[in-house]
Structure 1
Amino acid sequence: MPAIVGVAQVVSIGSSGVFHIGDVYKIMPVSSAKTFSGAGSFNTGDGLSIYNQQSSTNVNDSDGIDQAILLNA
């Protein structure tokens, strides 16, 4: 359904954001990321006691290509 759109001010859009004015059937942004982190990196909460005596993170990725995002719907 057509619409009349007035003034639109866009201050900023993130790198994976979508800004659209008008008719649309489907907007589906796709992104992928690989995260390496050490032991206890994603712990959240109050009163945590974390003891990491010898922590090492293996960041060796020998396959080169991971699952593609091509044609994901």
Structure 2
Amino acid sequence: MPAIVGNITILSVGPSSIVHIGDAIQLAPQSTSKTFAGAGSFNTGDAVQTYNAVSSTNTYDADIADTNAVSANGAGVL
């Protein structure tokens, strides 16, 4: 179902990012990564205020594989 999209701002696009505006059946990134960040790290907006008195990020992960990427035959957007 089509939607009306208002103003958007794209500040940067990483090497394995997908930027798509409109209808799509499947969006398939070609790589995966793991990121650790504390409270309030990925807030977005024009006037963000965060109040974090005590923050701790647990980076211990005993898994062997977290994100198993499967090839989509080179198709990023279907």
The residue correspondences of 1:1-73 to structure 2 (distance < 5 A) are 30-69=30-69, 71-73=70-72
Distance in 2, Cα, partners of 1:43 & 1:67: 23
Q: Closer, same or farther in 2 for the Cα pair 1:45/1:15, shift >3 Å? A: closer
Q: Which runs of 5+ in 1 are unaligned?
A: 1-13, 17-27
Number of residue pairs aligned between Structure 1 and Structure 2: 48
What percent of counterpart residues are identical?
A: 54
Runs of 4 or more above 4 Å deviation: none
Q: TM-score w.r.t. structure 1 length? A: 0.51
Question: RMSD of the TM alignment (CA)?
Answer: 2.5
Q: Of the two structures, which has the highest relative contact order with CA contacts closer than 8 Å and spacing of 6 or more?
A: 2
Aligned AA for 1:72? S
Q: Name the larger-Rg structure.
A: 1
The superposition leaves residues 16-43 of structure 1 with CA deviations (integer Å, 9 ceiling, x where unpaired) of 5xxxxxxxxxxx8721100111100111
